[in-house]
């Protein structure tokens, strides 16, 4: 029975991981989560996996909505392809699965370069180290899935990782994710190409008179900012001059395809 890997991505890390994992698993199809937005129930006999980034030490909202619609598959797993700092993620996904009466068999944490531009860019050499480590880790994940084994990644340990990072500020901030697009603006380099509108996975960007406008249903995936060909989109005063990031083996065309709600 085919394994279905549903993924959510802004800058391609999760797409790359989903695709590579699918190849290693063998009989697998990969499906973008935005394409399921109009479905009221997701059912599949066989294994179902999710590959997604981490936002503010938690799950992307769109992934939470997806899990709420998921019917119990034969085997259910999730791969966090975030920046490695799971914070509250493992606890949160278990709690969510329990609430849906879903058996979650495996949870993996696969560190990838951070796309959170306000904190700067991950240097090229460090990016290469992440990709090399992921290259070794993905076959191991595929083996666990194919063997239908139970596996839950250890939660982060240490004072900063368990208390400071996912602490009160981030918990409060997480609630405002959809409105955080108020910090985005386009500078004078914007030429009205429309890429920001095309890559947004939740139709949160539209062009008005050739200029982007954001509509406060943001996922904070950073696709609009990171894929703008002119590097014209800024987050407040934090991203001017910060090198833009996307996974080197993922193209703009693939991201546009992944962001469409209609499949």
Ligand X SMILES: Cc1cc2nc3c(=O)[nH]c(=O)nc-3n(C[C@H](O)[C@H](O)[C@H](O)COP(=O)(O)O)c2cc1C
Cα–Cα distances in Å, from 142 out to 19, 23, 28, 115, 241?
Answer: 12, 9, 11, 25, 38
C-beta closer to ligand X: residue 142 or 258:
258
Position among 66, 222, 227, 235 found at the interface with ligand X (CB under 6 A): 222
Q: Smallest gap, in angstroms, from Cβ of residue 18 to ligand SF4?
A: 18
**Dihedral in degrees, nearest 10, Cα atoms 238, 242, 247, 253:** 80
Stretch that binds ligand SF4, among 100-108, 115-123, 187-195, 246-254 (CB under 6 A): 187-195
Which residues, numbered 130-169, are part of the site for ligand SF4 (CB under 6 A)?
none
- In a 13 Å sphere around the CA of 208, the CA atoms on its Cβ side amount to 7
Q: Decide: is 212 part of the binding site for ligand SF4 (CB under 6 A).
A: yes
Of ligand SF4, ligand X, none, which one does residue 56 interact with (CB within 5 to 8 Å by kind)? ligand X
Q: Decide: is 81 part of the binding site for ligand X (CB under 6 A).
A: yes
Sign of the CA dihedral running 228, 130, 113, 94: positive
Long-range contacts of range 27-30, CB-CB < 8 Å, 24 or more positions apart? 27/1, 27/2, 27/3, 28/2, 28/3, 28/4, 29/2, 29/3, 29/4, 29/5, 30/4, 30/5, 30/6
Using CA atoms, how far apart are residues 218 and 73, in angstroms rounded to an integer? 29
Q: What is the DSSP letter of 64?
A: H
Position among 48, 218, 242, 250 found at the interface with ligand SF4 (CB under 6 A): 218
Q: What is the DSSP letter of 70?
A: B
Using CA atoms, how far apart are residues 225 and 240, in angstroms rounded to an integer? 11
Position among 152, 193, 252, 256 found at the interface with ligand SF4 (CB under 6 A): 193
Q: Smallest gap, in angstroms, from Cβ of residue 204 to ligand SF4?
A: 4
Q: Decide: is 239 part of the binding site for ligand X (CB under 6 A).
A: no
Position among 3, 114, 204, 259 found at the interface with ligand X (CB under 6 A): 114
Q: Decide: is 223 part of the binding site for ligand SF4 (CB under 6 A).
A: yes
Position among 30, 67, 97, 221 found at the interface with ligand X (CB under 6 A): 221
Interaction site with ligand SF4 (CB under 6 A)? 10, 181, 186, 190-196, 199-202, 204-205, 212, 214, 218-224, 228, 230, 232-233
Interaction site with ligand X (CB under 6 A)? 9-14, 53-57, 81-85, 87, 112-116, 220-222, 247
């Amino acid at each position: 029975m085919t394994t279905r890997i549903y993924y959510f991505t802004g800058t391609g890390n999760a797409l790359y991981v989903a695709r590579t994992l699918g190849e290693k698993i063998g009989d697998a199809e990969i499906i973008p989560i935005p394409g399921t937005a109009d479905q009221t129930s997701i059912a599949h006999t066989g294994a179902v996996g999710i590959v997604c980034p981490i936002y503010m030490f938690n799950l992307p909202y769109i992934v939470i909505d997806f899990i709420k619609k998921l019917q119990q598959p034969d085997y259910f797993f999730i791969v966090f392809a975030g920046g490695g700092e799971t914070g509250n993620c493992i606890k949160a996904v278990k709690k969510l699965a329990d609430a849906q009466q879903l058996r979650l068999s495996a949870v993996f944490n696969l560190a990838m370069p951070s796309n959170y531009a306000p904190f700067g860019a991950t240097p090229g050499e460090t990016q290469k180290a992440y990709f090399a480590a992921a290259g070794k880790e993905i076959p191991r994940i595929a083996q666990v899935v194919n063997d239908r084994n139970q596996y839950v990644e250890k939660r982060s340990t240490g004072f900063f990782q368990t208390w400071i990072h996912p602490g009160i500020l981030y918990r409060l901030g997480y609630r405002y994710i959809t409105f955080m697009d108020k910090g985005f603006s386009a500078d004078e380099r914007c030429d009205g190409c429309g890429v920001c509108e095309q890559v947004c996975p939740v139709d949160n960007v539209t062009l008005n008179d050739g200029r982007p406008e954001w509509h406060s249903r943001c996922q904070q995936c950073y696709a609009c900012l990171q894929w703008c060909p002119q590097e014209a989109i800024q987050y407040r005063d934090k991203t001017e001059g910060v090198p833009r990031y996307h996974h080197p083996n993922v193209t703009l065309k693939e991201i546009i395809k992944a962001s469409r709600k209609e499949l």
